[in-house]
Amino acid sequence: MSRFKNEITHLQAHIKTLRLGAGALVIVALV
């Protein structure tokens, strides 16, 4: 169970990084 929770935390961090990268790309495209 603890390992499963750890995987979810890791996924959330990865998604946050991906969203930041996508947001940066959109900003660069708009500018």
d(CA 13, CA 1) in angstroms, rounded, equals: 19
Domain extents in the chain: 1-31
Mean pLDDT, the chain, rounded, equals 94
| pLDDT number for residue 22 | 96
DSSP state letters, 4-30: HHHHHHHHHHHHHHHHHHHHHHHHHHH
d(CA 16, CA 29) in angstroms, rounded, equals: 20
pLDDT tens column, 13-26: 999 999 999 999 99
Per the listing, tokens 């947001």 go with: 23
